[in-house]
Every structure is written in C-alpha cells, then in structure tokens.
Amino acid sequence: MTMSSVGSIVSSVKVRRSTTASNIALAVSIVVVIALAIGPFAFLTKGNQQNLVTLFIYIIMGTMWNLLAGYAGMVSIGQQAFIGVGAYGVVYAADQIGIGPVAAIPAALVIAGVIGYLVSFLAFRLSGGYFAIGTWVIAEVIKLVTTQIQTLGAGSGISLTAFSGYKPALRIATVYWMGLASVVIAVAVTYLLMRSRLGTGFTALRDDPTAAATLGVNVTRGKRIIWVVAAMGCGLAGALLAENTLRVQPDSVFSVQLTATMLFIVVIGGIGTIEGPILGALVYFALEHFLIDLGAWYLVILGIVAILMVLFLPQGLWGLISGRGRISLFPTGYRLMTNPATPPAVATQDNAV
Amino acid sequence: MQWANAIVQGVILGGLYALLAAGLSLMFGVMRLVNLAHGALAIVAAYMGMVLVNKTGIPPFATLLIVVPVMALVGWVLQRTLLNTALNRQALAPILVTFGLAVILQNLMLELFTADNQSIDVGSLAGASIQITPDIAVGVFPLITFVVGVFVIAALQLYLAKTTTGRAMRATSDDREAAQLMGIDHRHIYALATAIAVGLVGLAGVFLGVRTQFNPTFGDVTLIFAFEAVIIGGLGSLWGTLWGGIILGVAQVVGAQAFPSSGVLLGHIVFLLVLAFRPTGLFPKVVNG
C-alpha cells in the first residue's frame, strides 16, 4: 500500500460522536422532559407527582452508583451516607439556616460534596471488596455522629417545616419540578463527564488498564472527581427524599437498603452505560409497585435476579435491548465512520475508544 | 478499677470478633474474595443453633456438632456453584454476588423469624462468672468464647503452615497458575477454603447468638466488626486479626465506659485512625514468616 492510498482511506474516515439513534433519543428526551414539566398543570395528580419524584430519586441513585461502579470500578456499599447527608442537609439549610426549601437543595448538594471529598482520603486507602465495606463503615460513622447532634433531632429524626407556608399543591409541584430538574442535571452531568477526557480515560482503563496507564491516565485524581460527583448526586437524591416525605429519620435515610436499591437498579438495567440505570430505575419502580405485598420476599427475589444477572447477563436489560451496545442513545465514545457513501458501518464498538 | 475491668472485658469481646473475622481473613487470603455475606451467614448459624436448642432440647454446645458441618457444606456448595463462577466473571462480580447473597439471606431470615430479637439459651452458664479481683469479674461463657477464638486462630495458622492442603492454599494464593502447574486444582482449594471459612462462621455465629441478642439485620454489624478486626490487624495475618479483634473490643468497651451509648462509634473511630495512619494494619504479614 502506498502512502497516497493510506491518505485517501484516512480522508474517507470520519470520527463521529453522535449517531442517528442518539439524535432521535435526544429529541425524544427533550419532548418527554417538556411534557413532564407541564404535567402538574395538565395530567398529573398530586399523588402521581409524588410517585414520580420517587422514580426521579431512583434514576439519580442508579446513575450515581453506576458512575462509581460501572465507569470507575468502585463498588460502594456506603452511598447511603450521602443520601443521609443530603436529607439532613436540606432540612438544616431550609429550616435552621432559613434559606428556604428551593435554595436548600443545592446547599445540601454542596454539603454532600464537601463531606464526600473529605472522606475520600480515608476510603481510598482500601480497594475492591474492602473498599466496599470501608465505605459502609464511613456511612455508619456519619449516621452515629448525626444521631449525637441534638439540633438534628438526635436518634428520633427531624421534620422539614420550611414548606409550612405553601399550599399542598404548590409544595408538591415545587418538589416535583426540582426533582425533574435534578434528574436532567444528574444524567446530563454524567453523560458529559463520561464523554470528557476523564470519562474516555476511565473507559480505556476499564478496557485495558496497562494501555491506559501507558497513555498517562491519572487514576486517583479521576476516581476522586467521580467519587465527589457521586456523593453530590446522592446528596441531591437525599434532599429530594426529605422534601418529598417531609420527614428525616436516621435509620431510614442512612439505611444500607438504599445502596442495595442502587445496586439492583444498576445490575438489572445494565452496568457501564448511561441508559442502563434509567431503564433499571423504571423496572425497579414498576416492580416495587406490583410486588409491594410480597414484603421481604420481594427483596429475596430481587437478590436472586441480581445474582443471576451478574453471572449470566452482565450487561443487564439494556445490553439485551441494545444488542450488546450496538445501539447507543447516549454514546460516550468515538465512532469511526468509513466512507459516507457506504452504509454507516460502525468500525469500533462504542465505548471502546 | 472500672477502667481495668473495661479493658479485660474488651479483650474478651475481642476473642469473639477474632473468631468472626477468621473466615473473612482466610477467604481473602486464599482467593482475594471479600465475602459480603459473611455477617449474614453468621446470623444464619445463630438461628440454626437457636432452632436446634428450642426444638430438640440438645445442649447449646452440642449444636456445634451439627451447625459447623452444615455450614461448612453450605460454604463448599456456595464456592462450587456461585463463587467460582463469579470469580471467572468481571472484577466486580464477586462483590455484587456476595452482597446480593447477603440481601437474600437477611430477608429470608426476616420472613422466617421476624425482626424480633432472639438469643440462644445456655441456662445457668449465661450468668456464671469468675471473680478475679474484687472489681473484675469475667463471665464464664465470654471466657470460653475468647479461648475458642485464640484456639481457632492458632489452629488455622498451623493448618496453613504445616499441612499439605494448607501449603496448597498458600501456593494458590501466591500464584494460581504456578500452583495449577504443580497439579493443584484451584477450584477444589477454593471450595475447601470457603468450607473452612463458613464452618468457622457457623462456630462464631453460635457463640455470638449465645452472647448477645440478635435479629436478621445483625449480619450488617457482624460483617463490619469482622472487617474492622481484619484491617486493624493487617491484611493476610491471622495473628494480626486476633490482635485487631482485641483492639476493636477494647476500644468499644472502654469507649462505652467513657461515653455511654458511643462504644460502637469509638470502635469505628479507632478503625478509621488505623486506616489513616497505618493503612497496612498494626501487625502486617511478615514476608515469608
């Protein structure tokens, strides 16, 4: 092959980041979000809105846990720490500092981020399975310290009173809109983060650690950024949880069950993709509604399903639907498109940089 | 003297933690697998002991003759089916699978036994104690637990150091491929290690069930305390795990003496301090020791 023929091939190859599917998905997402935003005026009852906030919380939780485990390889069993910090943080900021229920949500997010940054220096001393339990211990410590603080209601918890001047319809709609905005921001930030240099570095690391290290991927710094973002995201979910239920109790907002929920959502939906946790949250939300009468059996069944999926369907439901990543609604990688005259054959699998 | 008493009680409590941690330490040592269902399995054993005592009336210590072999068998089957498969999948699979298993076990126990606190009745032994000094009295049962804990750690250490199978475990741990070339079937070695580990969890679970009240959610703190003992002592060192258990026990009991209701928190803080300043643990493994 002569140099000129190599040149002609190179010139006929284009690098694309979006696909037809992703453009359609973006358009559909915008329509869905707009429809959901006008929902409270048109077709959503107060009960619908509160249920949807729960779904939004699940999507945020799953997205954040997936960011940690699916992209950065960090399995945390302690994300309930930041749910709790966000929930208490929003009550503290709204009621005790007095900045109101809306401004309190970003405030809670910042508190969760700061605490996440500080504890990362302890958690990052461990790796793998011990990292998982270490994060759990940190969550327990944060819970035990919280229950010592009298102004936060000690062991019995605290109620959110900042909404007392609101009519119920306005209160519920406000929380709903905050929840909708939060989901959009959480998914968008995750998507942009994974498309960035940092994200492609992590994808490279996941696919081939040696090659990635050779190319100079700074692992610890990247992991810390992702850890802090996930802490903030879980703080956001906790803040919404507190505003949706108006009550914060240490045993429920710091429950390891919350992290189990994240794990189920991500494993069922599909780990390591943007779409997976969203699909997983929808499935989990639906299952919870239909199987609520089963009590603890529900979690036994979910546990069995999750184990089977980890072992035999590791890419989850989204992997099944997308044909192992051939369709990508939120593509994070680079795709080589050969000659535009030929059908757009995908030369590299998405995410495989 | 109440402080001396707290230290003595803490040391003795540490024996139980070491007993709980031995299996966790062994499984990590042999196959780098952190079993997040470890605590839940201990509670399964505690319920098994309780049901045997309540239904058949056999003495609590006799239940060990049934609980330990059954749990060992459970461990063997678990490794042969679930865990060996998980170890062959992507890196996160063992953590996700064992966490899923913990959720399953905990909720099964909730369905079978409710969330009420239970304990295993040992009759008069529960209240028996030995007066050492006028201010220090040691419960007979906790003392037995401590002795069993020390004995188990010593026996495990000897087993790994002196027997052929123990050497095969260490060889597999050091270099699985090379061990395979020497004719060691790692799947068999792993199953054996997990059988021993879960058998020991069974032993520890029955002692725990006698010593304290428990309910299905108790597996969480059990896992956490066992893990803290392993990390404080230093990864890969069984004697370190014993010391780690003792340090954790002392921190909790002395902490509770100083700040009632904060004993567990102070135990966690000691763990975090070790993590911050001596992340390899206080008694790290001696190379070729």
> Could you give the angle at which helices A100-123 and A219-245 cross, rounded to 10 degrees?
140
Interacting residues of A300 by C-beta distance below 8 A, sequence separation 6+:
B103, B104, B107, B108, B111
Q: What confidence score (pLDDT) does residue B285 get?
A: 65
**Residue B99 to residue A314, Cβ atoms within 8 A:** no
Suggest the residue from B34, B101, B215, B232 to mutate for an interface test with chain A (most A CBs closer than 10 A): B34
Range in A329-333, B146-150, B259-263 the model is least confident about: A329-333
* A347 compared with B188, residue with greater pLDDT: B188
**Chain A contact for B181 (CB, 8 A cutoff):** no
- Residue A335 pairs with which residues in a beta bridge? A16
Helices (H) and strands (E) in chain B, counts: 12, 2
Is this model's pTM higher than 0.90 or not? no
Q: What confidence score (pLDDT) does residue A350 get?
A: 45
**Residue B89 to residue A306, Cβ atoms within 8 A:** no
**Chain B contact for A75 (CB, 8 A cutoff):** yes
**Residue A122 to residue B228, Cβ atoms within 8 A:** no
**Chain A contact for B101 (CB, 8 A cutoff):** yes
Q: Say if CB A59 and CB A277 are below 8 A apart.
A: yes
What is the number of residues in chain A? 353
**Chain A contact for B108 (CB, 8 A cutoff):** yes
Give the helix ranges, DSSP H, for A18-79.
20-42, 46-66, 72
Question: Mean pLDDT for chain B?
Answer: 90
Domain ranges of chain B: 2-217
Amino acid code (one letter) for A100: G
**With 90 as the cut, is the pLDDT of residue B121 above it?**
no
**Chain A contact for B92 (CB, 8 A cutoff):** yes
Rounded to a whole number of angstroms, the CA Rg of chain B reads: 19
Top mean-pLDDT range of A153-162, B42-51, B80-89: B42-51
Closest by Cα among B88, B85, B75 to B40: B75
Q: Say if CB A78 and CB A202 are below 8 A apart.
A: no
CB-nearest partner of A303 from B93, B104, B224: B104
Closest by Cα among A183, A221, A270, A261 to A72: A221
Structure tokens at B288: 């070729």
**Residue A140 to residue B268, Cβ atoms within 8 A:** yes
Q: Say if CB B255 and CB A101 are below 8 A apart.
A: no
Q: What confidence score (pLDDT) does residue A19 get?
A: 75
**Chain B contact for A134 (CB, 8 A cutoff):** yes
What's the average pLDDT block by block, 10 residues per block, for chain A (353 residues)? Answer: 51 69 83 86 87 95 93 90 96 90 94 95 86 92 91 86 86 93 94 84 74 75 90 96 92 92 93 91 91 85 92 88 72 64 46 39
Torsions phi, psi for B217 (to 5 deg):
-80, -5
Q: What confidence score (pLDDT) does residue B287 get?
A: 43
**Residue A75 to residue B92, Cβ atoms within 8 A:** yes
**Chain B contact for A321 (CB, 8 A cutoff):** no
- Give me the residues of B, 111-150, that contact A with CB < 8 A: 111
A-chain CB neighbours of B224 within 8 Å are 133, 136-137, 140
Rounded to a whole number of angstroms, the CA Rg of chain A reads: 22
Chain B CA closest to residue A295: B111
Opening angle at CA B165, ends B30 and B96, nearest 5: 25
CB-nearest partner of B96 from A75, A130, A140: A75
Task: Quote the CA–CA distance of A278 and A70 in Å, as a whole number.
Answer: 14
Instruction: Return the beta strands (E) in chain B as ranges.
Output: 129-133, 136-139
Interacting residues of B222 by C-beta distance below 8 A, sequence separation 6+:
B20, B38, B39, B42, B43, B208
CB-nearest partner of A133 from B108, B111, B223: B223
B-chain CB neighbours of A145 within 8 Å are 265
Amino acid code (one letter) for B166: G
Q: What confidence score (pLDDT) does residue B173 get?
A: 86
Structure tokens at B145: 């637990």
Q: What confidence score (pLDDT) does residue A348 get?
A: 44
Q: Say if CB B9 and CB B257 are below 8 A apart.
A: no
Opening angle at CA B244, ends B73 and B64, nearest 5: 30
**With 70 as the cut, is the pLDDT of residue B100 above it?**
yes
CB-nearest partner of B91 from A73, A138, A144: A73
Distance of CA A76 to the CA centre of its chain: 13
Task: Quote the CA–CA distance of B24 and B93 in Å, as a whole number.
Answer: 18
Interacting residues of A28 by C-beta distance below 8 A, sequence separation 6+:
none
DSSP-based helix, strand, coil % in chain B, nearest 5: 75, 5, 20
Structure tokens at A60: 């945020």
**With 90 as the cut, is the pLDDT of residue B42 above it?**
yes
Torsions phi, psi for B279 (to 5 deg):
-60, -15
Pairing, β B129-133 against β B136-139: antiparallel
State how far residue B79 is from chain A, nearest Cα, in angstroms: 14
Helix H or strand E encompassing A335? strand A335-337
A-chain CB neighbours of B107 within 8 Å are 296-297, 299-300, 303
In this structure, is the dihedral angle defined by the CA atoms of residues A256, A292, A268 and A175, taken in order, positive or negative? Answer: negative
A-chain CB neighbours of B100 within 8 Å are 263, 267, 303-304, 306-307, 310
B-chain CB neighbours of A128 within 8 Å are 32, 34, 91, 95
Structure tokens at B111: 């369905």
The 8-class DSSP code of residue B214 comes to B
**Chain A contact for B278 (CB, 8 A cutoff):** no
- Residue B137 pairs with which residues in a beta bridge? B131
**With 80 as the cut, is the pLDDT of residue B227 above it?**
yes
**Residue B103 to residue A302, Cβ atoms within 8 A:** yes
CB-nearest partner of B111 from A267, A297, A304: A297
Task: Quote the CA–CA distance of B87 and B171 in Å, as a whole number.
Answer: 18
